[in-house]
């Protein structure tokens, strides 16, 4: 250890309902450590953080706190029991600092907290920001933060990121924001199946570490025929397959961004009327939204001042900007829900919109998961016009079979979000409108959402503060900067940063230039082994396509689960494996074909 521990756990064990949640946990954080706590949904991360904070007593083991050290803990669901938010934030100061109200004011301003507000009338986001201000204001010796970026806009996340980089104490944090974790963290604690592993590197190295660990454990248990070996195999294949799928999807996304760039360049280089006339004969529904010279003001505040854009079928557009700049207002104008003061919005034909809003209030807490998905009618969910048995569809969204009859009120926040996504994505739609979809999502659900949106064939409009989410998903970014300043940039959030006027100097050191210089000299053709593999892959792809079609047909039988649960379970498991094998084979074909073309010049 670089420094003596400020906070440590030794041989800690905790059980819930007679079952061990974790045991034998021995770990620590010292001054200057910036540690991320990761693990699957339901693994006990938040509970372990509460043990660190002393809010939950372990069944056995020891918790050590350096004498005199002050610890500050950010709850996921803070309870605010003061007269004003300023009073609540001031509670984070040390006893000898209570006269330093300027620190309270500065922290509230940085986090967008109105200190005069009555806590009884707060939204969940306002309460979270106030709790974060309270945690930071006293500059404690140790900070324990549970989802600190939830409900923060991008400028505030960037401010928090820098604050934590400069922070000199011990930090342990849980977050779904990958870019935030990669930027801040220096150590990783991984909670998996009740065991905590520690690595002396940050979140950027977690994916490879996770894959290597699963592969090593699976190899060690290869000759053991038990459930643990099967679970490890599923985990290992899932992590590997997800990485390969993401690589393939990112390649496809680059193609979509090039197409979007071409259209935006044409719009800038040509008269708008000419472009419209050129598109007049295209297939009905190709044009989704045409906004021309939009103007909007609220209470004298300019939201939009002459903004224009053109969104076509298949585009994925992200909206970013500070809270209060007008992102949601612009979204409502683009979708026809709010009329502009000036300008015009034309909507395409045959639009079927579906909404995922910030409130997440469209679930009835008194009915079961089963009835929520089926609308109380039978055993099937109609997924974009095709019947799926409710249990099989639930599994796609990480629900276990025994949760089918669980009432919605008994689900966790992450599970409710997954249920709402399952219901929303089952609807037939060609325009998906997502307003802050990543708020309160755990990392498992966020992965699931990214995968499903990457495969979505319609048009997406997304308001989000998650940089990694935007980089992986959108073809262009509309930046709502405030005071009517709205501009569109091709690509994701990183591309937006590179293209902003104040960021032009960055263009001199583009990573792409390094990749270009590092290309190997042309060898002319593939090796014999690679060419043989490339020749064999089409037949394998056809075989897997045929098998998956047969499995999908079997699962579409509405009576299969009731008639033969074991066969249903076997078929559902095999289709997951077959899909992973197909995606791996497709990724390998793309890799070899790209290499062949490169070598051929």
Is 255 part of any known ligand binding site? Answer: no
Q: Which helix or strand (DSSP H or E) is residue 591 part of?
A: helix 565-599
Is 40 part of any known ligand binding site? Answer: yes
Is 186 part of any known ligand binding site? Answer: no
Is 323 part of any known ligand binding site? Answer: yes
Residue 227 to residue 598: CA distance in whole angstroms: 45
CB 74 within 8 A of CB 91: no
Helix (H, G, I), strand (E, B) or coil at 310: strand
Burial class of residue 400, CB neighbours in 10 A (0-12, 13-18, 19+): exposed
Residue 368 to residue 403: CA distance in whole angstroms: 9
Nearest CA among 115, 100, 171 for reference residue 141: 171
Burial class of residue 67, CB neighbours in 10 A (0-12, 13-18, 19+): exposed
Is 476 part of any known ligand binding site? Answer: no
Q: Which helix or strand (DSSP H or E) is residue 481 part of?
A: strand 476-482
Is 326 part of any known ligand binding site? Answer: yes
Phi (first) and psi of residue 272, to 5 degrees: -60, -40
Q: Which helix or strand (DSSP H or E) is residue 251 part of?
A: helix 227-269
CB 427 within 8 A of CB 353: no
* Mutual angle of helices 413-426 and 443-455, in 10-degree steps: 10
CA dihedral 157, 160, 164, 169 (to 10 degrees): -130
Is 427 part of any known ligand binding site? Answer: no
CB 128 within 8 A of CB 150: yes
Is the four-CA dihedral 149, 153, 154, 157 of positive or negative sign? Answer: negative
Residue 7 to residue 171: CA distance in whole angstroms: 10
Is 44 part of any known ligand binding site? Answer: yes
CA dihedral 172, 176, 179, 180 (to 10 degrees): -40
Q: What is the 3-state secondary structure (H, E, C) of 52-103?
A: HHCCCCCCEEEEEECCCCCEEEECCCCCCCCCCHHHHHHCCCCHHHCCCHHH
Q: Which helix or strand (DSSP H or E) is residue 353 part of?
A: strand 353-356
Residues 6+ apart with CB under 8 A from 211: 236, 239, 240, 243
Is 321 part of any known ligand binding site? Answer: yes
Angle at 178 between CA 518 and CA 358, to 5 degrees: 135
Is 327 part of any known ligand binding site? Answer: yes
CB 49 within 8 A of CB 74: no
CB 115 within 8 A of CB 84: yes
Is 324 part of any known ligand binding site? Answer: yes
Is 514 part of any known ligand binding site? Answer: no
Is 32 part of any known ligand binding site? Answer: no
Burial class of residue 529, CB neighbours in 10 A (0-12, 13-18, 19+): exposed
Residue 144 to residue 62: CA distance in whole angstroms: 18
C-alpha gyration radius of the chain: 26
Burial class of residue 88, CB neighbours in 10 A (0-12, 13-18, 19+): buried
Which residues are annotated binding-site positions for ATP?
A: 39-46, 321-328
Which residues are annotated binding-site positions?
A: 39-46, 321-328
């Amino acid at each position: 250890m670089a420094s003596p521990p400020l906070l440590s756990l030794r041989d800690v064990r905790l059980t819930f309902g007679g079952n061990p949640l974790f045991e034998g946990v021995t770990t620590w954080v010292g001054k200057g450590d910036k540690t991320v706590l990761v693990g699957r949904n339901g693994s006990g991360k938040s509970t372990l953080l509460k043990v660190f904070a002393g809010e939950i007593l372990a069944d056995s083991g020891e918790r050590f706190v350096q004498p005199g050290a002050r610890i500050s803990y950010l709850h996921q669901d803070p309870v605010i029991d003061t007269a004003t938010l300023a009073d609540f934030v001031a509670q984070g100061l040390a006893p000898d600092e209570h006269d330093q109200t300027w620190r309270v004011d500065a922290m509230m301003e940085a986090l967008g907290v109105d200190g005069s507000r009555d806590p009884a009338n707060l939204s969940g986001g306002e309460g979270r920001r106030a709790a974060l201000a309270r945690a930071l204001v006293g500059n404690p010796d140790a900070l324990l933060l549970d989802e600190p970026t939830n409900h923060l806009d991008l400028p505030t996340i960037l401010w928090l990121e820098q604050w934590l980089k400069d922070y000199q104490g011990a930090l342990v944090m849980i977050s779904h924001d990958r870019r935030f974790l990669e930027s801040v963290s220096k150590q990783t604690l991984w909670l998996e199946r009740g065991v905590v592993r520690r690595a002396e590197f940050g979140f950027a190295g977690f994916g490879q570490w996770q894959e290597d660990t699963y592969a090593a454990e699976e190899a060690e248990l290869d000759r053991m025929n038990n459930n643990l070996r099967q679970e490890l195999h599923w985990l290992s294949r899932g992590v590997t397959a997800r990485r390969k799928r993401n690589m393939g999807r990112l390649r496809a996304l680059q193609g979509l961004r090039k197409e979007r760039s071409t259209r935006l360049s044409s719009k800038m280089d040509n008269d708008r009327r000419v472009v419209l006339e050129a598109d007049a004969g295209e297939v009905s529904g190709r044009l989704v939204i045409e906004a021309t010279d939009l103007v909007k003001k609220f209470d004298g505040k300019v939201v939009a001042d002459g903004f224009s854009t053109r969104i076509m079928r298949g585009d994925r557009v992200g909206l970013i900007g500070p809270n209060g700049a007008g992102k949601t207002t612009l979204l409502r104008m683009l979708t026809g829900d709010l009329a502009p003061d000036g300008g015009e919005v034309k909507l395409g034909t045959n639009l079927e919109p579906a909404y995922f809003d910030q409130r997440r209030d469209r679930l009835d807490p008194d009915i079961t998961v089963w009835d929520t998905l089926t609308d109380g009618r039978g055993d099937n969910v109609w997924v974009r016009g095709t019947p799926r048995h409710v249990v099989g569809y639930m599994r796609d969204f990480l629900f276990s079979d025994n949760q089918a009859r669980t009432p919605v009120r008994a689900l966790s926040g992450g599970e409710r979000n997954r249920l709402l996504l399952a219901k929303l994505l089952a609807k037939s739609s060609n325009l998906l409108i997502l307003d802050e979809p990543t708020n309160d999502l755990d990392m498992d659900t966020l992965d699931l959402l990214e995968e499903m949106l990457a495969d979505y064939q319609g048009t997406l409009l997304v308001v989000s503060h998650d940089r990694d989410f935007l980089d992986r998903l959108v073809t262009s970014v509309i930046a709502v900067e405030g005071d009517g300043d709205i501009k569109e940039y091709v690509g994701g959030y990183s591309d937006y940063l590179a293209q902003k006027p104040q960021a032009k100097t960055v263009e001199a050191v583009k990573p792409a230039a390094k990749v270009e210089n590092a290309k190997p000299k042309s060898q002319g053709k593939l090796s014999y082994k690679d060419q043989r593999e490339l020749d064999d892959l089409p037949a394998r792809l056809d075989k897997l396509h045929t098998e998956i079609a047969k499995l999908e047909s079997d699962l579409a039988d509405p009576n299969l689960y009731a008639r033969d649960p074991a066969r249903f379970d076997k078929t559902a498991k095999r289709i997951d494996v077959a899909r992973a094998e197909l995606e791996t084979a497709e990724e390998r074909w793309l890799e070899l074909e790209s290499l062949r073309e490169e070598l051929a010049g």
